[in-house]
Structure 1
Amino acid sequence: MIAPRPTLILVYNARGGLLNGLRDAVHKLLSPATYPCSLCALTYSAVSMRGAWRQFLDSLGMPVMFLYRDEFERDLDRSGVGLPAILLGGDGPEPHVLLSGDALRSLPDLPALIAATRERLAAATP
């Protein structure tokens, strides 16, 4: 039997779709303090993923899944998971939380997010 491969799951506290993406970009630009997705704010500019985040994800050597709130609720919902969140899936029937919404909101910048993600992954994977 082959064990499932660990997968990093990034769940954004935003709804998917082009129109929602445009609304989010405008919201981030006009009122960043009230934008509800700290994961989006840390990892994306107004329209694209930050290069340092992309390089970090590419360096992990593991699959990465990107989900919006509506996709997560439909496909992987676990009661009690505050969004945004970074989860690790593939090592059990349900993914477990690496970084909660509260933890993500407390991070000051992208280097802190990368360091925290790296640290949690090291503790969670053999």
Structure 2
Amino acid sequence: MKKIIFVYNATSGKVNSLLDIAHKLISPKTYQCDLCSITHDTFSENEQWKQFRETTKLPLEFLHSDEFEANYKNKDAKYPVIFLEENQKLTEWISKSDIEQLENTEELIQLIKTKTMNFSNLY
């Protein structure tokens, strides 16, 4: 069974979420999570990403960096990052540098679709 694990360069928790919102409002260009910027607006998940996430048959998991480190042994990841988990083995699937080059939600969705073309009927 394959699973795609999205790891945001953000820490979980309500206080951290409020700090992230403030950062996005005050200085959006210096916000450190390009994956967050692509999948979320200032206050919530963007509609295009939400629709993709809710309609895809791909097995997706979303974690903050601290949650990932608590659940997986890979502590050397550069966040944000997207992993492919297959047979309990993690492989970096979309790197931090790949994410940094994406301009918008549509590009992320297209990249995921392209990379999953060989998955069996998951759309």
CA–CA separation in structure 1 for the residues paired with 2:9 and 2:55: 25
Task: State the match for 1:121 in structure 2.
Answer: 116
* Shift of residue 70, structure 1, vs aligned partner: 0.4
* Shift of residue 24, structure 1, vs aligned partner: 0.3
Tell me whether 1:55 sits opposite 2:80 in the alignment.
no
Of the candidates 76, 81, 99, which is equivalent to residue 72 of structure 2?
Answer: 76
CA–CA separation in structure 2 for the residues paired with 1:69 and 1:77: 12
Task: State the match for 1:97 in structure 2.
Answer: 92
* Contact persistence 1:11–1:68 (CA under 8 A): yes
Q: Deviations over 1:75-113 (max 9, x none)?
A: 114244211011222x22222222111100111111111
**Aligned length in residues:** 120
Tell me whether 1:10 sits opposite 2:6 in the alignment.
yes
Of the candidates 48, 62, 65, which is equivalent to residue 66 of structure 1?
Answer: 62
Q: Deviations over 1:34-76 (max 9, x none)?
A: 1110000111011111111111122321332110010111111
Q: List gaps (5 residues or longer) in structure 1.
A: none
Identity level (%):
32
TM-score by length of 2: 0.88
1:118 alignment partner AA:
K
* Contact persistence 1:11–1:72 (CA under 8 A): yes
* Contact persistence 2:8–2:33 (CA under 8 A): yes
- Taking structure 1 as reference, are residues 103 and 78 closer, same or farther at Cα in structure 2, changes over 3 Å only? same
